[in-house]
């Protein structure tokens, strides 16, 4: 297997894009990434997307996007793994290049969630859960996360308001990211007074649905100097799975999918949690941040909040989280989020983020994309090239 | 790259499966294939499916199917390329094994199209076309194929009734396939008198929507003797793409996606059309059979019918087509069809089909799966192992 690098980045702002359709967003991001890499063709394109069929009446995105990007005849394939679709597409590209099958592969994660009214997207997002045993019983994704958070508060006897430190940090960082959806700070008081969505999850625990597209260009290390974009190494891009239905899990508060994914990623990279300089966490809901920190080996079980307080999760902290706003502050265009996370990690390693959110220790980054409450988890570890 | 073989097959009958849901079908096929191969675990599972989100309210099939198949923690990923999803999943598995990334990979193509009424599935299937320039204008898949067939009749001055030889042959073969949906013959007279669906396409030009799941186990040649199932070599599994919108094509009667896919497949295998003993063609509509025979290099442009007459397409003919019924006779469960085609080709090479449909020359088989009127085409060439 060859070593692999990212040499091109492209993204659209995360917004309600009323004036741009799905293909516009995808092609804009992909062409920007190709321009950054200095390439005018690719060997293949991996598309990460969950809901184009349900919300834009468009499946078959692989060939659509290569066609619209002017890549006539190039292989384009869509991969779907719920909210993990973006990093799943990156994994597909990384493996295609690592194996020597292809030399330069484009990844584009794209989602357009605001095309129809919110009810449609909530229903569509619930297809990431178990249709026969969860969603048909009325359980949607806020509901599933609310049950998990309830259990967490009960088991570990913590104060619900302590979770505020995650979204407060995410918003603080999003202020400086020009592509973020919410460029304003929030306070602990605002969190405590925020509108309840599904007890105990309030509005400020919840990442917003949004539209956006994000793209990276993956190439072999041995060729990376041929490209215009400053390269960053991918040390690992590994997947772990778990049951979809949360009630089938031995311990619903332990994300086995996360554990499996990070174990492989640490093994492949030869690293451990203490080597990670900052972490692009899948903060779709505050509870997911806590559970991910624990199953990823950063915090002990039930101690994520204590860990966050002690270690520090802001830009100057011991483990900066959501450095460009995370899903909470940047926005969560489902199938694109995993690619945004990796782009933001690469920008940190390239030192091209705005100074106020540049993390001081930036040799090794970890990004983790989670599909369906932990059923598909892809952990990517990236390394600066000196 | 390592040589790759198929060592396990599993399939459900193609039917309206009112008593089995999507996961039942998928897991039945996958476990049967694993039993045939004599394995109780896999390194990964590639799922080919197009419409589970639209018609069964279930996305995220990768982790769902590995979970329900008892493959706890195994990587499962869904790939979608419209009607080409099945072979796209096979290609993904073949590349994972060829590259040395994985040793044994399960592929399962699954589709449940009859869960809701026909209007829903027609609308859902139209998401394989260009949503902004075709489907929103009212064009569905019968409509697109009707326009192509109209043009074919006009350009090549042939008699519409001459197309009957394709469905008559497919039904003749389906009679002997216990998994086929339509196990009855049809006559040329019945074809000529068949109900018009969208001129010039009549009912007997059209493959039926259906439910079904089909699975193969892909392993490395170097290890194939470790498995219980009789192995068959995959010489090539190559993809070609074209514009989704048919009106964007230079010549709508020339399937450039097919041409690109077969050129690669012939190149990789070192073979040419004359080496192919029989052909599992994507006969979703009779016109697709004709266009595929031409762009695949079997017949000259506009001469598919003449070729079929002269060469013979029945079991004893020069190029047997749709030997187990094809999409027309076996049925067309969209994301599963590409896997059914490969299973049937392997059964011919293993000589395990019922005697009346066993092709006499059976060293080299070709199967071709087409997504969206030729926008994604995957051609697989298989070889008997003596």
Domain ranges of chain B: 4-118+210-232, 128-207+237-384
DSSP string, A271-332: --GGG-SEEE---SBHHHHHHHHHHTTSS-TT-HHHHHHHH--STTSSS-BSTT-HHHHH-B
Considering only the beta carbons, identify the residue of B58, B75, B127 that sits closest to A239: B75
Q: Give CA torsion, residues B136, B137, B141, B143, to 10 deg.
A: 170
Can you read off the two tokens belonging to residue B166? 């394709």
What confidence score (pLDDT) does residue B358 get?
Answer: 98
B332 is catalytic: yes
**Distance between alpha carbon B170 and the CA centroid of its chain, in Å?**
14
Q: Is A253 exposed, middle or buried (0-12, 13-18, 19+ CB in 10 A)?
A: buried
Choice among A72-86, A114-128, A259-273 with the minimum mean pLDDT: A114-128
CB count within 10 Å of CB B39 equals 19
Choose among B193, B202, B192: nearest CA to B145.
Answer: B202
pLDDT per position as a tens digit, A41-80:
999 999 999 999 999 999 999 999 999 999 999 999 999 9
Q: Do A66 and B241 touch (CB under 8 A)?
A: yes
Active-site residue set of A: 83, 332
Strands A75-80 and A44-48 come out as: parallel
Residues of A with Cβ-Cβ distance to B41 under 8 angstroms: none
Angstrom distance (rounded) from CA A65 to CA A73: 11
Choice among A52-66, A124-138, B300-314 with the minimum mean pLDDT: A124-138
Choose among A356, A338, A375, A369: nearest CA to A107.
Answer: A338
**Rg of the Cα trace of chain A?**
19
**Superfamily the domain B4-118+210-232 falls into:** Thiolase/Chalcone synthase (3.40.47.10)
Q: Do B132 and A23 touch (CB under 8 A)?
A: yes
| Alpha-carbon gap: A84 to the closest alpha carbon of chain B (Å) | 9
pLDDT per position as a tens digit, A276-294:
999 999 999 999 999 999 9
pLDDT per position as a tens digit, A308-348:
999 999 999 999 999 999 999 999 999 999 999 999 999 99
Q: Do A375 and B98 touch (CB under 8 A)?
A: no
pLDDT band at A119 (very low <50, low <70, confident <90, very high): confident
Phi/psi for B333 (5° steps) reads: -80, 100
| % of chain B residues with pLDDT over 70 | 100
**Please, which residues bridge with residue A283 across strands?**
none
* Structural contact between residues A368 and A282, judged by C-beta atoms closer than 8 angstroms: yes
What confidence score (pLDDT) does residue B299 get?
Answer: 98
Q: Residues with Cβ < 8 Å from A82, sequence gap 6 or more?
A: A50, A127, A128, A334, A371, A372, A375, A376, B59, B60
What confidence score (pLDDT) does residue B386 get?
Answer: 85
Select the more confidently predicted residue: B122 or B180.
B180
Can you read off the two tokens belonging to residue A196? 């309840």
Would the pLDDT of A118 be above 80? Answer: no
* Structural contact between residues A345 and A101, judged by C-beta atoms closer than 8 angstroms: no
| Alpha-carbon gap: A160 to the closest alpha carbon of chain B (Å) | 31
Would the pLDDT of B117 be above 90? Answer: no
Q: Is A306 exposed, middle or buried (0-12, 13-18, 19+ CB in 10 A)?
A: middle
pLDDT per position as a tens digit, B2-45:
999 999 999 999 999 999 999 999 999 999 999 999 999 999 99
What confidence score (pLDDT) does residue B115 get?
Answer: 82
Residues of B with Cβ-Cβ distance to A66 under 8 angstroms: 241
Q: Residues with Cβ < 8 Å from A19, sequence gap 6 or more?
A: none
- Phi-psi map region of B159: left, alpha, beta (phi>0 left; psi -120 to 50 alpha): beta
The single-letter DSSP state of residue B48 is: E
- Give this complex's ipTM: 0.96
Substitution target in A53, A101, A112 with the highest count of B β-carbons within 10 Å is: A53
Can you read off the two tokens belonging to residue B350? 């293993």
Angstrom distance (rounded) from CA B235 to CA A60: 26
* Structural contact between residues B80 and A80, judged by C-beta atoms closer than 8 angstroms: yes
**Cβ contacts of A306-311, under 8 Å, gap ≥ 24:** A308/A165, A308/A166, A309/A165
Secondary structure (H, E, C), B227-262:
CCCCCEEEEEEEEEECCCCHHHCCCCCCCHHHHHHH
What confidence score (pLDDT) does residue A264 get?
Answer: 98
Total beta-carbon pairs less than 8 A apart between chain A and chain B: 183
CATH topology identical between B4-118+210-232 and B128-207+237-384: yes
Mean pLDDT, chain A, integer: 96
Mean pLDDT, chain B, integer: 96
Q: What angle is formed at CA B80 by the lines to CA A7 and CA B109, rounded to 5 degrees? A: 135
**Please, which residues bridge with residue B214 across strands?**
B11, B109
Q: Which of B171, B179, B282, B332 is catalytic?
A: B332
Choose among A127, A130, A38, A92: nearest CA to A338.
Answer: A92
What confidence score (pLDDT) does residue A362 get?
Answer: 97
Q: Calculate mean pLDDT across residues A171-181.
A: 98
The single-letter DSSP state of residue A301 is: T
Phi/psi for A378 (5° steps) reads: -120, 120
CA distances from B302 to A314, B272, B274 (A): 67, 20, 19
CATH class of A4-117+210-232: alpha beta
What confidence score (pLDDT) does residue A116 get?
Answer: 81
Fold classification of A139-208+235-384 (topology level): Peroxisomal Thiolase; Chain A, domain 1 (3.40.47)
> For B291-375, where are the E strands, in sequence order?
364-371
Choose among A368, A323, A318, A375: nearest CA to A344.
Answer: A323
Q: Calculate mean pLDDT across residues A16-33.
A: 97
B77, closest residue in chain A (CA to CA): A81
| Alpha-carbon gap: B161 to the closest alpha carbon of chain A (Å) | 32
Considering the domain B128-207+237-384, what is its CATH architecture?
3-Layer(aba) Sandwich (3.40)
Angstrom distance (rounded) from CA B171 to CA B187: 9
B101, closest residue in chain A (CA to CA): A99
Q: Calculate mean pLDDT across residues B307-332.
A: 98
* Structural contact between residues B267 and B288, judged by C-beta atoms closer than 8 angstroms: no
Q: What angle is formed at CA B29 by the lines to CA B25 and CA B30, rounded to 5 degrees? A: 115
What confidence score (pLDDT) does residue A122 get?
Answer: 87
The pTM of the full predicted model, rounded to 2 decimals, is: 0.97
Q: What angle is formed at CA A15 by the lines to CA A12 and CA A77, rounded to 5 degrees? A: 50
B46 is catalytic: no
| Alpha-carbon gap: A72 to the closest alpha carbon of chain B (Å) | 7
């Amino acid at each position: 297997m060859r070593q692999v690098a990212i040499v091109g980045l492209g993204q659209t702002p995360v917004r309600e894009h009323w004036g741009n359709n799905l293909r516009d967003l995808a092609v804009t991001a992909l062409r920007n990434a190709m321009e950054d890499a200095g390439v005018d063709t690719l060997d293949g394109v991996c598309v990460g997307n969950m809901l184009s069929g349900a919300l834009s009446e468009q499946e078959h995105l692989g060939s659509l996007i290569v066609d619209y990007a002017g890549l006539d005849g190039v292989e384009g394939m869509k991969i779907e793994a719920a909210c993990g679709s973006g990093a799943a597409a990156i994994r597909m590209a990384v493996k295609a290049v690592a194996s020597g099958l292809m030399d330069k592969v484009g990844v584009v994660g794209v989602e357009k969630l605001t095309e129809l009214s919110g009810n449609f997207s909530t229903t569509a997002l619930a297809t990431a859960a178990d249709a026969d045993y969860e969603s048909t019983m009325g359980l949607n994704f806020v509901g599933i996360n609310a049950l998990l958070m309830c259990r967490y508060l009960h088991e570990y006897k913590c104060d619900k308001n302590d979770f505020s430190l995650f979204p407060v940090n995410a918003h603080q960082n999003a202020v400086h990211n020009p592509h973020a959806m919410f460029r304003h700070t929030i306070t602990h008081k605002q969190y405590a007074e925020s509108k309840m969505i599904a007890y105990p999850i309030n509005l400020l625990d919840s990442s917003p649905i949004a539209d956006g597209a994000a793209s990276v260009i993956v190439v072999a290390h041995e060729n990376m100097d041929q490209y215009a974009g400053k390269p960053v190494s991918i040390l690992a891009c590994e997947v772990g799975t778990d049951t979809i239905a949360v009630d089938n899990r031995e311990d619903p508060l332990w994300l086995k999918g996360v554990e499996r994914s990070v174990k492989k990623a640490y093994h492949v990279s030869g690293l451990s949690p203490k080597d990670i300089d900052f972490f692009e966490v899948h903060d779709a809901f505050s509870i997911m941040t806590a559970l991910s920190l624990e199953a990823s080996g950063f915090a002990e079980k039930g101690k994520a909040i204590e860990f966050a307080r002690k270690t520090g999760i802001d830009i100057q902290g011991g483990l900066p989280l959501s450095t460009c706003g995370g899903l909470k502050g940047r926005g969560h265009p489902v199938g694109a989020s995993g690619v945004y996370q990796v782009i933001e990690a690469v920008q940190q390693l390239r030192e091209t983020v705005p100074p106020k959110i540049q993390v001081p220790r930036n040799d090794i980054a970890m990004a983790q994309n989670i599909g369906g409450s932990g059923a598909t988890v892809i952990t990517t570890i990236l390394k600066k090239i000196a």
